[in-house]
Amino acid sequence: MEIAKTYQHGAVEAKWYAHWLGKGYFHSTPDQRQPYTIVIPPPNVTGVLHMGHALNETIQDILIRRARAMGYNACWVPGADHASIATEARVVNQLKAQGIRKQDIGREAFLQHAWEWKEKYGGIIYEQLKKLGCSCDWQRTTFTLDDTYSRAVIRVFVQLYREGFIYRGQRMINWDPVALTALSDEEVEYREVQSTLFYVQYPLEGSTDRITVATTRPETILGDVAIAVHPEDPRYQHLIGKYAYVPLIDRRIPIIADAYVDQAFGTGCLKITPAHDWNDYQLGIKHQLPIIDVLNPDGTMSAAAQLFVGEDRFVVRNKIADLLREKGFLAKTETIVNKNGFSQRSNAVVEPRISTQWFLKMKDLAKPALDEVLQRQIQIHPEERFLNTYRHWMENVQDWCISRQLWWGHRIPAWYDAQGNIYVAETAEEAYAQAHKAMGTTDVQLHQDEDVLDTWFSSWLWPIQVFQGITQPGNAEWRYYYPTTVLVTGQDIIFFWVARMIMAGLHFTGEIPFRYVYFTGMVRDKLGRKMSKSLGNSPDLSQLIDQYGADAVRFGIMISSPAGNDLLFDEKGCEQGLHFCNKLWNALRLIKSWEPRINEQTKPATDFPIKWFHHRLQAFIRQTEKDFEQFRLSENLKNLYTLIWEDFCSTYLEWMKPAPDADGLQITKSYFETLLQLLHPYMPFITEEIYHQLSPRDANDDLIIKPIPAATDADEEIVQQGLLLKDVLAAVRQTLQMHQIKAKQPYELWIQTTQREKYETCIPILHSQLHVQNIVFTDDAPEQAIRTVVGKDILYIKIPELASTASDHQKQNLEKELNYLKSFLQKIEEKLQNERFLQHAKSEVVEREQKKKQDTLEKIRVIEETLRTLS
């Protein structure tokens, strides 16, 4: 069969994905083997795959494919979360475009629209994962709003409520005035913005003086209830205990002292607005100040504000400033940079707001979750970077606001009676039963809480509930797959997800949810900027795959992403991947071209290449085992790339030319197969394709499931001999090139060495690689020859017409080398003469230094001799 001259990725990738699926290779069921389990960090159902996902999912696929080939029962569970805020926002917008408001159609109808939306767009991300080659067990696809999953969420809510972890209370929370919902602390992003600092003068009671307060939020002065100064601030001692008037509305407020106030900021006077600022809220409680909420939920001014009622907070900010200026209360303004909180989902400026919400007490849940990690029951990679972050958050954890004022999500299973009593139960029937019992009558009307739960309150159960561990505790699948093996996720959701999954795992099952956590960095562009929609610097993944092929894209992503480091994505990497595919393809073409020629071949003159590559390969397989233990995927891929390109293609295959015999061909194919196996996790499609092109295969003989052989011991001696041979080849070629000797020009190679046996087996290779006429061993320098030095050996290139000279360049190089060796030697000698070194250093170290000294002396002798004959 004729093999195409270039590799065509498109058709090949579609073909093999369908083949693997058809064979059921991705599907896992419990059996005798050890499980290797990964649960996908569920992407938003609203999402399309971006580069961050691509990095994440590629890593997971690499781990799962490797595990599958190492004989584990590999199970990768895919799925998505329902993304309350994001999805609801999409659906609301879609309805708005049709002139429909969600309040008008009601909860039921709205949810129907939302489900339709989910059916239509929710699967996009799965198709993209398939395109990328992800070997997920699609039969296990889970969605956080599935019926059973929802039951699990409700069940744990009820459990935690009964255990006293969940409470309902009025507290200050982060409010998203656009999405009209509470947010958790983690859903707020703080970013620097340019703001105006307004210096507002408050008239003092019983005086014509004024006190000046600096604020970036003049609209909130309408909610001011006090002015605070530092108790030791000499400027304001006389004012403590006095009263001032809020400009424009003339509210009489006290001037209080509190050490919290920063004397250096602004004027050293702080206005206190407990309803609209976290710190003011605390101060308000401490000093028993009233709370005046001047904002409506949508960020407009409330009736309590008295002025500008119903107008937006940002509009009012300017209007108030103008009015203050007009009335003479505005002393001055300056521009400053401060940090504002933004909603991760809607990007609205978050408003601190006092509101009644449901909270989960975190302290007692966090403690065991921290301990397990500190005791390394769960190992974080890379640890040095993220363990401290994890610990810090866990030690300072705040209660988690878990209610959201939305409809798309798990409705809070709490019912209220007319008196406001709360009944928390898994079903309405149970809630009624509770109410009947409590009230001693069946004449009760209950109303369920309107709010839903934070999306993360469902996804923290993910590793347990994808195996029904909550709804069917102790079931066989759960027992088999849980705890899962490794969680791969971005460092940005360490708190959202990782920490809470560990808490949930320990609390609900008594076991950790996974043994390893592998954190990836952020994907940035090649200039180091975060990828974002607004910058437009995020490449379209589908387009990238169409252009380069999924294998090349996976290669491009992995080749530059060491664990935990940010990945500076550059399309160049994909191009390199594409070239690599081409290289592999051509290796296939070469090997296949040998097939019809094996009969012509007699036994090769040396089996050194075969021996050498065998040991080289064994050493690599062993190293690979270590690399995967330490999640050093990028390094492993780099080394594999070099092994294939340099050692296999440029070295081994060249050394086997013009063609091997039948046995040699067989061995060559088996080497190639092993390389393909090692590469398969990174580049699944082309490796499977080449595997099948290389030899006819039985029906169930596919690379994806072919077990990777265990490494045998590598003979370091033979590996070294290969390196020597490579050095000799390079030295001769370099010398020829420097003397501008054409490749076809005949010459003789004389070798002066004390390790003749190392050369002898390789002479046929020297002949085939160097087009040398004759090779001889010598003990003396021949006449009329160019010299070059390899280690302790001297090579002479004899060309009758050329004088016995070296180029200046070559001399310089030798001199440079000599200087280096001499200073090297000096340092070794100093060391060996140093009493304290001999006393303190281990005996192996001293021996090694002595060996180094001998070797170096020998090399120096050789170079000096060469230089002498050159001059």
Partner RNA sequence: GGGAGCUUAGCUCAGUUGGUUCAGAGCAUCUGCCUUACAAGCAGAGGGUCAUUGGUUCGACUCCAAUAGCUCCCA
By CB under 7 A, the residues from 181 to 240 that bind RNA are 185-186, 188-190
Q: Identify which of residues 449 and 855 has a Cβ nearer to RNA in the complex.
A: 855
Residues 386-405 vs RNA: string with x where CB under 7 A?
--xx--xx--x-x-------
* CB of 659 closer than 8 Å to CB of 594: yes
Stretch that binds RNA, among 68-76, 405-413, 610-618, 641-649 (CB under 7 A): 641-649
Q: Identify which of residues 314 and 820 has a Cβ nearer to RNA in the complex.
A: 820
What's the CA gap between 27 and 615, in Å, rounded? 36
Residue from 302, 582, 745, 778 touching RNA (CB under 7 A): that is 582
E strands in 160-309: 166-176, 181-183, 188-203, 210-215, 226-229, 243-245, 252-257, 269-272
Q: Identify which of residues 77 and 643 has a Cβ nearer to RNA in the complex.
A: 643
Q: Identify which of residues 120 and 836 has a Cβ nearer to RNA in the complex.
A: 836
Q: Identify which of residues 393 and 480 has a Cβ nearer to RNA in the complex.
A: 393
Task: Report if residue 251 touches RNA, rule: CB under 7 A.
Answer: no
Min dist CB 766 to RNA, Å, is: 12
Stretch that binds RNA, among 208-216, 383-391, 413-421, 860-868 (CB under 7 A): 383-391
Q: Identify which of residues 77 and 517 has a Cβ nearer to RNA in the complex.
A: 517
What's the CA gap between 407 and 684, in Å, rounded? 42
Of 259-288, which residues contact RNA (CB under 7 A)?
278
Closest CA relative to residue 626, chosen from 684, 560, 711: 711
Min dist CB 667 to RNA, Å, is: 17
Phi, psi of 63 (to 5 degrees): -65, -40
Please provide the DSSP assignment of 453-513 as one string: E-HHHHHTTHHHHTTTTTTSTT-HHHHHHPSEEEEEEEGGGIIIIIIHHHHHHHHHHSS-S
Stretch that binds RNA, among 16-24, 314-322, 354-362, 823-831 (CB under 7 A): 823-831
Task: Report if residue 333 touches RNA, rule: CB under 7 A.
Answer: no
Min dist CB 130 to RNA, Å, is: 23
Residue from 17, 36, 329, 495 touching RNA (CB under 7 A): that is 495
Min dist CB 635 to RNA, Å, is: 5
Stretch that binds RNA, among 318-326, 476-484, 566-574, 862-870 (CB under 7 A): 566-574
Stretch that binds RNA, among 38-46, 54-62, 214-222, 573-581 (CB under 7 A): 573-581
Residue from 37, 560, 618, 636 touching RNA (CB under 7 A): that is 560
What's the CA gap between 352 and 296, in Å, rounded? 12
Q: Identify which of residues 21 and 832 has a Cβ nearer to RNA in the complex.
A: 832
Min dist CB 128 to RNA, Å, is: 23
Residues near 661 by Cβ (< 8 Å), separated by ≥ 6? 598, 601, 602, 603, 604
Of 6-45, which residues contact RNA (CB under 7 A)?
6-7
List Cα–Cα distances, 203 to 207, 473, 561, 646, in angstroms.
8, 67, 61, 81
Residue from 15, 168, 251, 638 touching RNA (CB under 7 A): that is 638
> Strand pairing of 226-229 and 269-272?
antiparallel
Q: Identify which of residues 278 and 777 has a Cβ nearer to RNA in the complex.
A: 278
Residue from 302, 344, 606, 813 touching RNA (CB under 7 A): that is 813
What's the CA gap between 239 and 243, in Å, rounded? 8
One-letter-per-residue 3-state SS of 186-210? HHEEEEEEEEEEEEEEEEECCCCCE
Supply 425's token pair.
């139960």
Of 540-559, which residues contact RNA (CB under 7 A)?
559
Residue from 100, 568, 621, 802 touching RNA (CB under 7 A): that is 568
What's the CA gap between 255 and 244, in Å, rounded? 7
Min dist CB 284 to RNA, Å, is: 16
> In 220-312, which residue ranges form alpha helices assigned H by DSSP?
278-286
Residues near 427 by Cβ (< 8 Å), separated by ≥ 6? 413
Task: Characterise 215 by phi-psi region: left (phi > 0), alpha (psi -120 to 50), beta (else).
Answer: beta
* CB of 454 closer than 8 Å to CB of 81: no
Residue from 203, 824, 857, 860 touching RNA (CB under 7 A): that is 824
Looking at residue 568, its amino acid is L
Of 514-533, which residues contact RNA (CB under 7 A)?
526, 528, 530
Looking at residue 303, its amino acid is A
Residue from 475, 737, 755, 773 touching RNA (CB under 7 A): that is 737
Min dist CB 434 to RNA, Å, is: 36
Burial-class residue 244 by CB neighbours within 10 Å (0-12, 13-18, 19+).
buried
Burial-class residue 84 by CB neighbours within 10 Å (0-12, 13-18, 19+).
buried
Min dist CB 344 to RNA, Å, is: 10
Task: Report if residue 720 touches RNA, rule: CB under 7 A.
Answer: no
